[in-house]
Amino acid sequence: MSETARIILDGIEYELPITEGSEKEKAIDISKLRAQSGYITLDYGFKNTGSTKSAITYLDGENGILRYRGYSIEELAEKASFLEVAYLLIYGELPNKTQLNSFTTSITHHTLLHENMKRFFEAFPAGAHPMAMLGSMISSLSTFYPESQNPDRSVVDIEKTIHRLIAKLPTLAAQAYKHNTGHPTVYPSNDLGYCGNFLKMMFGLPTTPYEVDPIVEQAINKLLILHADHEQNCSTATVRVVSSSQANLYSSVSAGIAALWGPLHGGANQAVIEMLESIKEDGGDLDKWINKAKDRNDSFRLMGFGHRVYKNFDPRAKIIKKAADEVLGQLGIEDPVLEIAKKLEQVALNDEYFVSRGLYPNVDFYSGIIYRALNIPKDMFTVMFALGRLPGWIAQWKEMVENGEPIGRPRQVYTGANHREFVDLNSRD
């Protein structure tokens, strides 16, 4: 007999089925509760509510485990390329050499943008936030590829849409950066890898040959892998809900971009650097700010420490800390802000207050440090996050479409006024 949960409502007992995941996670299936009893469940922020079954990413916050399709994040970050991981997330298995070559070739030959898109960038004001430009430009891709708006198109056409989006996002991101610097567009190079090509489009100039630093390229590769998916987070859930209406992939990802932009989500690494800059501008007295963080009556809190899901440690942070050390060592950077970051890291790793509360440096802390070291502007940090997260969004979209999941439609508990009679305007007080 299958396992069930029992709930008593208004003296009537209801049996609810228990479902179990492949990692022994258990959930109470309430999908028929409202139809049977008239009751719904209330869960602010959906912290305890599963919205779907997914075979993509496994996350165990208590034990610091993150796996993509069963593969540990530690192994993938150490041994795989970003495009290998993208293929894994989207198609379910690591590619063989033939599959990877075909996938890479397709993406390489879809990196160019329609020249008319330059006019869109030209219309944005100088200093426009790159995330605003990125979201707008991604959504506009559906106008250049109208076949993407057909939910019943062929598998071949769906593949083209997926490959185009993966290929064009770095180009769009780099052009957003170039727009704000006033520098000319640098076109993609088919002889470079995914991460190296992005770096060239970002920092290259038509007047000077650009050499990709392998240490920097590898660090970017790791960062993108570490951000590639993270279960049903805010932006991923947004992509799934939007696409559940059969909105096209470009629009769905654009919605994910908007969700990611918030400082409580993708904007956290930018907040880290802004905090470190504030400490420097205040004179660099780290002890003062440590004491503020410990003071319950002080509104200040350290950014880039602890995690809402990982209770003991963030497995991604250990990996990216090593990459951060390599980048800083290779580049020989002398930056007072980064010096403050190093000192703060040591305090957090050794001070009993932080250790006992699980306030360890997380992936946002170290990624912010790397991006600053690479001269990537703060307002581009979240764009970098989006570059990494794209394969996860696509995989989640693809899974939802293939499973034929229903349109997202959360319920609510109404707390407004009861029925009222309309009062004519002349009779109102």
Residue 364 annotated to the active site? yes
Which tokens hold the place of 371?
Answer: 């991006």
**263 vs 24: CA distance, rounded Å:** 33
**238 vs 242: CA distance, rounded Å:** 6
Place of tokens 């002890």: 287
Instruction: Yes or no: say if 256 and 250 are a contact pair by the CB < 8 Å rule.
Output: no
Order the strands of the 71-72 sheet from edge to edge. Answer: 57-60, 65-68, 71-72
> CA triplet 310, 316, 318: central angle to 5 degrees?
105
Give the Å distances, CA to CA, from 123 to 12, 19, 23, 136, 202. Answer: 62, 52, 50, 12, 20
> CA triplet 223, 229, 235: central angle to 5 degrees?
110
**236 vs 259: CA distance, rounded Å:** 9
**359 vs 348: CA distance, rounded Å:** 7
Mark 73-111 as b/e (b = at least 16 C-beta within 10 Å). Answer: beebbeebbbbbbbbbbbeeebbeeeeeeebbebbbebb
Catalytic residue among 110, 163, 230, 364: 364
**185 vs 167: CA distance, rounded Å:** 16
Query: Which H helix or E strand runs over 71?
Result: strand 71-72
- Of residues 403, 401, 370, 387, the one with CA closest to residue 86: 387
Residue 265 annotated to the active site? no
Which tokens hold the place of 52?
Answer: 């779907």
Catalytic residue among 163, 307, 314, 379: 307
Place of tokens 């880039």: 304
**11 vs 46: CA distance, rounded Å:** 27
Which are the catalytic amino acids? 307, 364
